[in-house]
Structure 1
Amino acid sequence: MIKNLTTVLALAVASVTSPVQAQPVKGDAKAGEGKIAMCIGCHGIQGYQASFPEVYKVPKISGQGAPYIVAALQAYQKGERRHPTMRGIAESLSEQDMADIAAYYAGHGNAQAAGAQPREPGTQVAALLQKGACVSCHGQGFAKPIDPSYPKVAGQYADYLYSALKSYKTEGNASVGRSNGVMGGIARQFTNSELKALANYIGSLEGELQTLPQPHFRLGQKAQ
């Protein structure tokens, strides 16, 4: 009797303490449409330029993969990506908010460019791409990442790409930089001029990324 009772108790404890596989939060694009007020002031204006840490166009996020958008917001929230404005925004978001916002933006890509064939890079850029093994993660034409948590980068603004790549090389700065072991190791292989060449090529490619303009914003408005 005692042995049987002990067995029952052991099974009960195991059922309580055994790890439960966390289910990913499912995003709702319709709900996300009501949560983007903090996003459209920058990402909803074509050609809008940030002024920190340097002047560059804020990235196009319409058409970006939802898992990547969530991963990026989580990185800002945790401080793995250091940017005061983006961290402040990310810290105000719940997991559900992030999933909803990501679902909204993921559904508004440039479908006409989805099947575009990338142009061939020049000899110098081809060597840099091979050295960094860039397509091994970002996929064919830099528009089909091998993992959904990796970004599509084809057609992204070149000046943003250049600033982002440099940020992986930044160390010891509380306000600027990105902590990512893989990207940090890759970026540090290159000089800044080589990173700019890579960014210019990738930015010149056709891709699904775009900016959906908000009608109540004046196009071409500059950051103050």
Structure 2
Amino acid sequence: MNKPLSTLLKTVVASATVALSLAAQAQVTGDVKAGESKAAMCIGCHGIPGYQNSFPEIHKVPKISGQTAQYIAASLVAYQRGDRKHPTMRGIAGSLSEQDIADLAAFYAQHNGDVKAPEAPSRAPNAIVAALLERGACASCHGANFSSPIDPSYPKIGGQYADYLYVALKSYQVQGNPIIGRSNPIMGGIVAQYSLQELRQMANYLGSIEGELATRPQPRFRR
């Protein structure tokens, strides 16, 4: 069934607004050292390997060290706008200025050093998962190794925690919930094709391959 014109217009306007927000953010230069000093609010979750979040279900908080700066910035802007609805992250993102976001993004983008994923995953998916990934054209956006996104505002997903990937993918299927869900026209359309079992199969595979992401411990107290 085709979407009503009003819905399509809302989608276009929302997408354009996000693009403008990200364009404005791109004009701000991030400072790695400043980002390190501002990361104290992030350490309690993203600086503890294996740390788990219990909302909306138990899962590991994502690895963000080594993620692209543009994706980190885009994610924080999405939380500010309410396109991502996780209450804790919305509260944190809402307290950040454009400069804060740029500094944090710059810091975490280099926080895992120069780790490079292999050009192709060393572990190939089974036939079922390969077909699921092909259906969503996942490699066309995230790269053949799932760590080389074609647009730097897209995430690296190879080697990310599988349970986080599953929760994140499911969130794009949520409709009309004020505290759970993510609004993204592209991902929403892609994820709608899958059952929860299929999303879990893809997440398990993507989480099992080598990537460029890590959860790196950080000291709580600095000189």
TM range (shorter): 0.7 to 0.9
2:144 is aligned with 1:145: no
The superposition leaves residues 27-54 of structure 1 with CA deviations (integer Å, 9 ceiling, x where unpaired) of 1001101101110000000000000010
* Cα shift at 1:24: 1.5
Comparing 107-116 and 31-40, the one that deviates more: 107-116
Q: Name the structure 2 match of 1:162.
A: 166
Q: Name the structure 1 match of 2:52.
A: 49
Q: Name the structure 1 match of 2:73.
A: 70
1:36 to 31, 36, 39: 39
Q: Is the Cα contact below 8 Å between 1:113 and 1:206 reproduced in 2?
A: no
1:198 to 179, 202, 205: 202
2:95 to 67, 92, 95: 92
* Cα shift at 1:108: 1.6
Q: Is the Cα contact below 8 Å between 2:43 and 2:220 reproduced in 1?
A: no
Q: Name the structure 2 match of 1:178.
A: 182
Q: Name the structure 1 match of 2:9.
A: none
Q: Equivalents in 2 of 1:161, 1:86: separation in Å? A: 16
TM-score between both structures, scaled by the size of structure 2: 0.85
Comparing 113-122 and 32-41, the one that deviates more: 113-122
SS state at 2:38 partner: coil
Q: Equivalents in 1 of 2:83, 2:195: separation in Å? A: 23
Structure 1 unaligned blocks of 5 or more: 1-20, 218-224
2:199 is aligned with 1:214: no
SS state at 2:200 partner: helix
Segments ≥4 residues shifted beyond 3 Å: 110-113
RMSD over equivalenced CA pairs, Å: 1.6
* Cα shift at 1:111: 3.2
Q: Equivalents in 2 of 1:33, 1:140: separation in Å? A: 31
Count of aligned pairs between the two proteins: 197
Comparing 109-118 and 85-94, the one that deviates more: 109-118
Structure with bigger gyration radius: 1
The superposition leaves residues 114-159 of structure 1 with CA deviations (integer Å, 9 ceiling, x where unpaired) of 3364021100001001101001111121000000000000000000
Q: Is the Cα contact below 8 Å between 1:154 and 1:205 reproduced in 2?
A: yes
State the identity %.
65
Q: Equivalents in 2 of 1:123, 1:215: separation in Å? A: 43
Q: Equivalents in 1 of 2:115, 2:66: separation in Å? A: 12
Q: Equivalents in 2 of 1:34, 1:192: separation in Å? A: 39
Structure 2 unaligned blocks of 5 or more: 1-22
SS state at 1:81 partner: coil
